Chains A and B, each alone.
Chain A
Amino acid sequence: MPLDPAFIGRRYAPSRVYEVGREKIREFASAIGDESEVYRDPAAAQALGHPDVIAPPTFAIVISSEVGRQVVFDPELGLDYGRVVHGEQRFVHHRPIRAGDRLCGVLVVENIRAAAGNDILTTRVDVSTEDGELVTTAYSTLVARAAERS
């Protein structure tokens, strides 16, 4: 059954606070094969004008994908996760995420559509500090492939 378009515009409750740690940024940078000092050495980051080490441009996925679980596993929506592939991803950074940030994500369902039997779900996660400063907006498109016909 196609996904219910009535979910378009739905906004979920803010996530718990995610505290960005220096060691997590280092671990993530190592995992993407990037040895840059700006992800590891506060002095190197400060030399570029950042208050502390910053996170790589895709680090926000750690936060946004966890927040996204609210809709992916929302039993009311009924997305078949076994058929889901990641279609598109986009980040808009209002400023770099940095060590010491205490961030919350708010998930909004941007769009739901069907194409060639696939269900296509687009979400937006606004990642802000707990004080309300918008840091990053993450847009994700998930595609639930059409069930195989038997």
Chain B
Amino acid sequence: MTAAVRYDDVEVGTELPTASLPIARVDLVRYAGASGDFNTIHWNQRFAESVGLPNVIAHGMLTMAAAARVITDWAGDPGAVVEYGVRFTRPVVVPDDGTGATLQVSAAVGAKLPERRVRVDVTVTSAGDKVLSMARAVVQLG
């Protein structure tokens, strides 16, 4: 469970390839089924609005999972992600307009740690707003 990326080849500030990830209503339905999280705010606009949200919002865990792909694609082995945490700061609003939302994900090496590990800092925005903060992973490099 070690990444293809070598520890000696990265430095603080090394940027990972970015990703632009669309999220439509159907993706929320699929994630609800796969994860078992059927919270009504993720699929029912009438209910979402009744609790003060602008519209249906994505599962925070779907955003977290989608953002992880930037790290796992870079590392080459998802098993190299030994730690991953986020703070959910803003909801990702997913309107039923045939387009939905788009997550812009970027990441960079924030620190080199002992034992050939690095901390990767991830930035995720939707509609120009940062939707996660303190999004960080620890990755075991080769």
Q: Give the interface of A toward B (CB within 8 A).
A: 27-28, 30-34, 36, 38-39, 48-50, 54, 56-58, 61-62, 65-66, 82, 85-93, 95-96, 139
A-B contact pairs, 9 of them (CB 8 A): A30-B30, A31-B33, A31-B62, A34-B72, A62-B34, A65-B36, A65-B37, A92-B82, A96-B1
Indicate whether A85 sits within 8 Å of B35 (C-beta atoms), given known contacts A33-B69, A50-B79, A56-B78.
no
Indicate whether A96 sits within 8 Å of B79 (C-beta atoms), given known contacts A56-B65, A56-B68. yes
State in angstroms the CA–CA spacing of A88 and B88 once bound together. 6
Assess the A66–B36 pair: CB atoms within 8 A. yes
* Chain B 57-68 interface mask (CB, 8 Å, partner A; 1/0): 000111011101
Query: Would you give the shortest CB distance from B96 to chain A, in whole angstroms?
Result: 19
Q: Inside 8 A of B88's CB, which chain A residues have their CB?
A: 85-89
* Bound-state Cα–Cα, A27 to B29, Å: 13
Chain B residues with CB under 8 A of A87: 87-88
B13, chain A: closest CB distance, angstroms:
23
**CB-CB under 8 A for A49 and B1, given A56-B78, A65-B36:** yes
CB <8 Å contact, B78 and A38: yes
B7: interface (CB < 8 Å): no
Chain B residues within 8 Å of chain A by Cβ, number: 37
Given A65-B36, A88-B85, answer yes or no on A36-B78 (Cβ-Cβ < 8 Å). Answer: yes
Q: Nearest-CB distance from A26 to chain B (Å)?
A: 10
**Which of the residues A30, A54, A91 comes within 8 Å of B85, measured between beta carbons?**
A91
Known pairs A31-B30, A61-B35, A96-B79; list 18 more (Cβ under 8 Å): A28-B34, A30-B30, A31-B27, A31-B31, A31-B62, A32-B69, A33-B21, A39-B78, A54-B1, A58-B61, A58-B65, A58-B68, A58-B84, A62-B34, A65-B37, A88-B87, A88-B134, A92-B83
